[in-house]
């Protein structure tokens, strides 16, 4: 009779905890849970509940990864200066921004982040920039060249980008020029091809991706950035504004947003460097004007409109998972 040892060359091990890392196809017996386990990979991205924010809000900004995130600013019933850090399980309040504000551009990592622009009291678009060093926010003496809110941000604290958005008052004036940040000052760079606000972005300063948004209706447009110029590429499958995203120029994830008639969405799309495909699993909560962080393999969505504390974690397709072997 064929045995597992005969096929694999070794017997099934009995262990008190699941091994990590494990190789795809590896089998073991967990003697603490009395179950046989199998190392596999996901075939589709999945969503699961994460820890709740301390302050529910929308229009917030973020920096970092799924297990080391910083979320800051936003709107509750008023402009918020709240800043919180996430360790993959729970949120902890950190020192607040110096200026309360909504719809800022955010980028960086949990210990080195940037917050730029946004809308602040009495309801006007800002040029202000604040930097985070892991323990406090500091006002940067040089602000954006263009006041803007509802712009997207991506990159690291010493090499970031703000793109899209609009300025007020008077009226809504789209800002076409993107701006590059070098850790100290902003420099105007290439214009986006399609003016929009509340799109999502992913990547680094020299290899970015900008997708979705509104003008004022929902858009599906996607553009790639090389550090100086924008190129139109294949569009999202569904037009959406107030949408979120994470990842890189070659492997991004898009989730949520809003499309006519102003309906919040829970759907997810994946970018492979060439085109977008719909992921079969959606968020448990339809969201708009939230924020994303992380990578395509491990992303996080934070907040909602109306203001919410709920977060969800995304595990992308092809990610390692441990399955329990059953007889069914």
Instruction: At 148, list the tokens.
Output: 């803007």
- Mean pLDDT over each residue of the chain, to the nearest integer: 94
**Would you say domain 46-315 falls under CATH 1.10.8.590?**
no
How does pLDDT run across 214-237, given as a tens digit for each residue? Answer: 999 999 999 999 999 999 999 999
Q: Residue 9 has what pLDDT?
A: 53
Residue 239 has a CB neighbour count (10 Å cut-off) of: 19
Q: Where in the chain is the domain with CATH 2.120.10.80?
A: 46-315
- With a CB cutoff of 8 Å and minimum separation 6, the contacts of 74 are 55, 57, 58, 59, 60, 61, 80, 82, 102, 303, 307
Task: Kindly report the backbone phi and psi dihedral angles of residue 161, in degrees, each rounded to the nearest multiple of 5, phi listed first.
Answer: -140, 140
Is 171 a residue whose pLDDT tops 90? no
Are 259 and 240 spatial neighbours (Cβ–Cβ below 8 Å)?
yes
Average pLDDT over residues 170-176: 91
Q: Residue 40 has what pLDDT?
A: 81
Residue 214 CA, distance from chain mean position: 18
Q: Residue 240 has what pLDDT?
A: 97
Instruction: At 92, list the tokens.
Output: 């902890």
Collapsed DSSP state (helix, strand, coil) of residue 5 = helix
Percent of the chain with pLDDT over 90: 84
Average pLDDT over residues 284-309: 97
Q: Residue 128 has what pLDDT?
A: 97
- Of 181, 183, 179, which is closest to residue 138 (Cα–Cα)? 183
List residues bridging with 49 in a β-sheet.
312
Question: Rounded to whole angstroms, how far apart are CA atoms 290 and 301?
Answer: 7
Q: Residue 25 has what pLDDT?
A: 82
Q: Determine what percent of the chain falls in helix, strand and coil, rounding each to the nearest 5.
A: 0, 50, 50
Average pLDDT over residues 241-258: 97
Whether the predicted model's global pTM rises above the 0.85 cut: yes
List residues bridging with 254 in a β-sheet.
245, 269
Instruction: At 81, list the tokens.
Output: 């200066």
Question: Rounded to whole angstroms, how far apart are CA atoms 150 and 167?
Answer: 9
How does pLDDT run across 81-122, given as a tens digit for each residue? Answer: 999 999 999 999 999 999 999 999 999 999 999 999 999 998
Q: Residue 6 has what pLDDT?
A: 57
| DSSP-assigned letter for residue 8 | H
DSSP-derived secondary structure for 214-232: BSSSB---EEEE-SS-EEE
Q: pLDDT band for position 20 (50/70/90)?
A: confident
Are 280 and 44 spatial neighbours (Cβ–Cβ below 8 Å)?
yes
Question: Rounded to whole angstroms, how far apart are CA atoms 142 and 152?
Answer: 19
């Amino acid at each position: 009779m064929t045995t597992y040892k005969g096929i694999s060359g070794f017997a099934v091990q009995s262990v008190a905890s699941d091994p990590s890392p494990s190789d795809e196809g590896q089998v073991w017996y967990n003697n603490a849970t009395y179950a046989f386990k199998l190392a596999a990979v996901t075939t589709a991205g999945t969503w699961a509940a994460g820890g709740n924010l301390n302050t529910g809000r929308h229009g917030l900004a973020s920096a970092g990864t799924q297990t080391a995130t910083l979320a800051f600013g936003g709107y509750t019933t008023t402009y918020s200066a709240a800043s919180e850090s996430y360790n993959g399980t729970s949120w902890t309040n950190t020192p607040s921004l110096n200026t309360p504000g909504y719809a800022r551009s955010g980028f960086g990592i949990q210990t080195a982040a940037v917050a730029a622009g946004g809308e602040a009291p009495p309801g006007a678009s800002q040029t202000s920039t604040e930097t985070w060093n892991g323990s406090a926010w500091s006002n940067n003496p040089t602000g954006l060249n263009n006041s803007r809110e509802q712009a997207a941000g991506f990159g690291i604290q010493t090499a970031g980008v703000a793109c899209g958005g609009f300025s007020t008052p008077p009226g809504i004036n789209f800002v076409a020029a993107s701006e590059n940040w070098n850790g100290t000052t902003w420099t105007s760079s290439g214009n986006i091809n399609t003016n929009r606000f509340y799109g999502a972005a992913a990547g680094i300063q020299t290899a970015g991706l900008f997708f979705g948004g509104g003008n004022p209706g929902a858009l599906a447009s996607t553009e790639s950035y090389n550090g100086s110029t924008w190129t139109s590429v294949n569009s999202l499958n569904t037009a959406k504004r107030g949408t979120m995203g994470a990842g890189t120029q070659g492997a991004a994830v898009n989730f949520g947003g809003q499309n006519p008639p102003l309906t919040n969405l829970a759907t997810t799309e994946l970018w492979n460097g060439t085109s977008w495909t719909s992921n079969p699993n959606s968020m448990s909560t339809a969201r708009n004007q939230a924020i994303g962080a992380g990578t395509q393999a491990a992303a996080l969505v934070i907040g909602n409109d109306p203001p919410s504390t709920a977060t969800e974690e995304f595990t992308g397709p092809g990610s390692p998972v441990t399955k329990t072997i059953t007889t069914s």
